[in-house]
């Protein structure tokens, strides 16, 4: 039997950080070639997705734009890894749809975790419609304990404006400027806002305290256990750069 030995490349291991130890086999007894069934059942990374939650207004406030950020990230990646392939997508959502920017992006790009949470939230909302207040943004209506409330257009717009800015105190002057912009609208004084709020609260009945008064400043909506916000079915649509 020959004393010549061949150095054979070791099969991949599950611990790539360990230095492989070469093994020697006799020349007249070569090892059988590895078959797919013999190889480790592992998966390797092929890339990554970076979700960025930032709308155009916030980007402009920072002195940039979404296309500018995408271009900067691409140039940085080209410098660090010239062989990397890139694809950028911007997530679009209806105006006033609310929610965290990052959640909108993840939902638009069909990230499984985001879709599962959105589905669970919708099911919960549907179960809770018979109790409390449901502000249905997509259908422009308010349900109180499952019954449709007779809100005027301006009353709904007022409630919606506060709801979509959850946790932020809105001054009376901002409400006037935002809700009375059409030429045919008679612009009210700031104190007239108080009258509209009183009417709104009267229709909310026992849930009137969901619209809070911040003395000397304006009004605010805080997250409330009795309130469900519905933004409509489906997901925002992504669009490519």
The fraction of the chain above a pLDDT of 70, given in percent, is: 70
Using pLDDT thresholds of 50, 70 and 90, give the confidence band for residue 124.
low
Q: How many helices (H) and strands (E) does the chain have?
A: 7, 11
Residue 14 to residues 22, 31, 42, 106, 153, Cα–Cα distance (Å)? 16, 21, 8, 32, 64
Mean pLDDT for the chain overall: 77
Residue 124 to residues 8, 105, 128, 131, Cα–Cα distance (Å)? 60, 22, 6, 12
Looking at residue 80, what is its pLDDT? 96
- Tell me: the pLDDT tens digits for 130-176? 678 888 887 888 999 888 889 998 999 999 999 888 889 999 989 88
Q: What are phi and psi of 12, to 5 degrees?
A: -55, 145
Q: Are strands 147-148 and 5-8 parallel, antiparallel or unpaired?
A: unpaired
The fraction of the chain above a pLDDT of 90, given in percent, is: 26
220: nearest Cα among 143, 132, 161, 178? 161
């Amino acid at each position: 039997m020959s004393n010549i030995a061949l150095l054979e490349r070791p099969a991949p291991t599950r611990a790539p950080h360990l230095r492989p130890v070469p093994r020697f086999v006799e020349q007249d007894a070569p090892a059988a070639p590895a078959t797919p069934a013999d190889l480790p059942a592992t998966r390797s990374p092929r890339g990554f997705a970076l979700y960025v939650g930032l709308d155009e207004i916030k980007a402009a406030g920072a002195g940039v734009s979404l296309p500018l950020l995408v271009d900067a990230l691409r140039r940085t990646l080209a410098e660090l890894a010239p062989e990397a392939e890139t694809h950028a997508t911007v997530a679009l959502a209806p105006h006033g749809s609310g929610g965290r920017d990052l959640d909108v992006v993840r939902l638009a790009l069909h990230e499984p975790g985001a879709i599962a949470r959105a589905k669970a939230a919708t099911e919960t909302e549907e179960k809770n419609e018979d109790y409390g207040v449901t502000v249905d943004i997509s259908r422009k209506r308010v349900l109180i304990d499952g019954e449709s409330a007779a809100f005027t257009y301006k009353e709904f717009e007022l409630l919606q404006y506060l709801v979509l800015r959850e946790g932020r105190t809105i001054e009376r002057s901002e409400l006037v400027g935002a809700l009375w912009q059409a030429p045919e609208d008679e612009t009210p004084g700031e104190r007239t806002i108080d009258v509209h709020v009183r009417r709104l609260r009267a229709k909310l009945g026992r849930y009137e305290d969901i619209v809070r008064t911040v003395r000397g400043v304006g009004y605010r909506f805080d997250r409330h256990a009795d309130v469900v916000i519905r933004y409509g079915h489906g997901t925002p649509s992504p669009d490519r750069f």
